[in-house]
Amino acid sequence: MKYLRVKEAVLQELGKATPGFPLSENSLARRFGVSRMTARRALQELQQEGYLSRRQGKGSFPTERRFSQGFLRVRPFYEFARAQGATPRTQVLAAELRPTPPEVGQKLGVPEALYVERLRFLDDEPVQREVRYLHPAHCQDLLRHDLTRESIHDLLVHTLGLPLTRVWQRLEAVALPDPLATLLEQLPNAPALRLERLTYTFETPITWVEYLMRADRYYLEDTFIPQGERP
């Protein structure tokens, strides 16, 4: 897809001392020979993922440096729902083999992967959108299962027999663009929590997933023993 080519090129330039910022839909369209709509989609996804920030009337700039801090573990959706006393429901929006976007392909190491997109509900209210890419060589039987009811984590471990040995994840605040805001029944640019996670079996990355969680319905908390922690 053309917008992925534009997006990948911009990603490669981030952090380099290259002229070309601020970016605009018109400048990207002329530079890559694509439509403004294609350029707009590339910019919107880069803004949503935290790589760019938009300044009204000036264009899009690289996001200023962010600082990393350890954070909480996030429980599986149905376990979380039970703890809240809420009724969970899952709608599968897509489940198929797809080309991986550049940033996902680099992390999974494959040009195409099993794609699963799900919308999660609590008490019939949409609260989370999940997009997941899975390594096709290891997860090819996953799409035979009922993904409206079955946990992908449990399928990987107990059905496919994949030991999940390591997880990298990142949590950040984002603004919901259309049509994701509409999907989650929010206004455009409403606040959300974006959790990106990459899970390994030994040294092989098995699944990349992005969760978008409504900030008006989610908060994070934890209890732990502060061994070695300093205030």
Q: Which pLDDT score, from 0 to 100, does residue 65 have?
A: 60
The whole-angstrom separation of Cα 87 and Cα 62 is 41
Q: Which pLDDT score, from 0 to 100, does residue 88 have?
A: 93
Q: Which pLDDT score, from 0 to 100, does residue 224 have?
A: 67
pLDDT digits (tens), the chain, 231 positions? 677 788 878 877 775 545 467 888 888 888 888 898 888 888 887 877 777 877 777 778 777 665 555 566 667 788 888 888 889 999 999 999 999 998 898 899 999 999 999 999 999 999 999 999 999 999 989 999 999 999 999 999 999 999 989 999 888 899 998 889 999 999 999 999 999 999 999 889 999 999 999 999 887 777 766 655 444
Residue identified by tokens 């699963």 is: 116
Domains along the chain? 2-62 (1.10.10.10), 77-214 (3.40.1410.10)
The whole-angstrom separation of Cα 154 and Cα 117 is 17
18: left (phi over 0), alpha (psi -120 to 50) or beta: beta
Q: Which pLDDT score, from 0 to 100, does residue 17 have?
A: 47
Going by their DSSP bridges, the two strands 112-122 and 88-99 should be labelled as antiparallel
Give the number of residues written for the chain.
231
**Hey, is 68 helix, strand or coil?**
coil
Cα–Cα separations (whole angstroms), residue 156 to 62, 69, 72: 37, 29, 23
